[in-house]
């Protein structure tokens, strides 16, 4: 699958003002500064599509991006038959300390509402900093998703900042921690927004999810 076009659509303070749920969408969540907005830009091959920042707390609303993708073969044009429209959604981070209790509560409510109620949310990508050993805040978050029954996949980010061996060890420990409580483990990916690592694998995964969505609509 290739991305033919990607553009910013709208920022919403609540699920009520999100775009009409008429196509599948894939959202990025994770701690502040983990690289959610950068990953979205990397996947779309557009450096400045979603706003990124060196200081945490940059993304504060539910941001929808319209995507047109195609699974055309070489030499074919993009047609209705080989293309599809869907959304990527950039969310604010969790665990961000530099806002008031009140503001943080409000964000958490917005995010929880969105994650639990958005009927077209195909997969929630949970981003985890690949440089660190399993963090309690991330493990607690995925456990909560389990309680809520939200389908998700793990994305270990910033792979360029450590050796492959270190990232692999961190991924392994995270999955080992999950295995203590989970019978089935979610799919996982390793990415670098700088080196574009993991781009193909993630896009292929989304493509498969889009296919399932299409089939569910047809049936
Ligand atoms: N080296 C490296 N830096 C990255 C990568 N991804 C993101 N960064 C950097 O990490 C910082 C945070 O990136 P963002 O994409 O803004 O992170 P975010 O998760 O959207 O942050 P919030 O919106 O504040 O929650 C920026 O300085 C990015 O340049 C990566 O794969 N490798
Ligand atoms: Mg962001």
The Cα 113–Cα 118 span in angstroms is: 8
> Is 32 close to ligand 1, i.e. is its CB under 6 Å away?
yes
Q: Which atom of ligand 1 lies closest to the CA of 58?
A: 24
pLDDT one-digit tens code per residue, 52-96: 988 888 788 999 999 999 999 999 999 999 999 999 999 988 877
> Is 37 close to ligand 1, i.e. is its CB under 6 Å away?
yes
Domain 2-214 - what CATH class? alpha beta
The Cα 56–Cα 99 span in angstroms is: 10
Mean pLDDT of 24-39: 96
The Cα 54–Cα 48 span in angstroms is: 14
Mean pLDDT of 164-185: 97
> Residue 47 Cα, ligand 2 centroid: separation in angstroms?
13
Beta bridge partners of 152: 124
pLDDT one-digit tens code per residue, 103-149: 888 888 999 999 999 999 999 999 999 999 999 999 999 999 999 99
Mean pLDDT of 173-192: 97
Minimal CA–CA distance to 111: which of 138, 91, 89?
Answer: 91
Q: For residue 23, what pLDDT is reported?
A: 97
How far apart, in Å, are the Cα atoms of 83 and each of 18, 40, 68, 198?
Answer: 23, 19, 7, 22
Q: For residue 140, what pLDDT is reported?
A: 95
User: Are 189 and 155 a contacting pair, CB within 8 Å?
Assistant: yes
- Reply yes or no on whether the pLDDT at 97 is more than 70: no
> Residue 1 Cα, ligand 2 centroid: separation in angstroms?
25
Q: For residue 81, what pLDDT is reported?
A: 93
User: Are 48 and 57 a contacting pair, CB within 8 Å?
Assistant: no
For the chain, give every domain's residue range: 2-214
User: Are 35 and 98 a contacting pair, CB within 8 Å?
Assistant: no
**pTM for this prediction:** 0.97
């Amino acid at each position: 699958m290739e991305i033919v076009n990607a553009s910013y659509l709208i920022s919403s303070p609540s699920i009520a003002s999100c775009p009409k749920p008429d196509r599948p969408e894939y959202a990025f969540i994770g701690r502040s500064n983990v690289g959610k907005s950068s990953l979205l830009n990397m996947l779309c091959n557009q450096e400045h599509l979603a706003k990124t920042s060196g200081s945490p707390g940059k993304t504060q609303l539910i941001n929808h991006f319209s995507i047109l993708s195609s699974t055309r073969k070489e030499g074919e044009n993009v047609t209705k038959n080989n293309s599809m429209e869907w959304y990527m959604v950039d969310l604010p981070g969790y665990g961000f300390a530099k806002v008031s209790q009140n503001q943080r509560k409000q964000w958490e409510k917005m995010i929880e509402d969105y994650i639990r109620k958005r009927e077209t949310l195909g997969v929630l990508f949970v981003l985890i900093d690949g440089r660190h050993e399993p963090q309690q805040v991330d493990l607690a978050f995925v456990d909560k998703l389990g309680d809520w029954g939200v389908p998700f996949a793990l994305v270990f980010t910033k792979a360029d900042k450590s050796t492959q061996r270190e990232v692999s060890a961190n991924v392994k420990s995270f999955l080992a921690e999950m295995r203590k409580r989970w019978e089935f483990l979610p799919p996982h990916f390793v990415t670098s927004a700088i080196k574009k690592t993991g781009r193909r694998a993630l896009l292929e995964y989304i493509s498969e999810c889009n296919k399932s969505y299409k089939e569910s609509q047809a049936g």
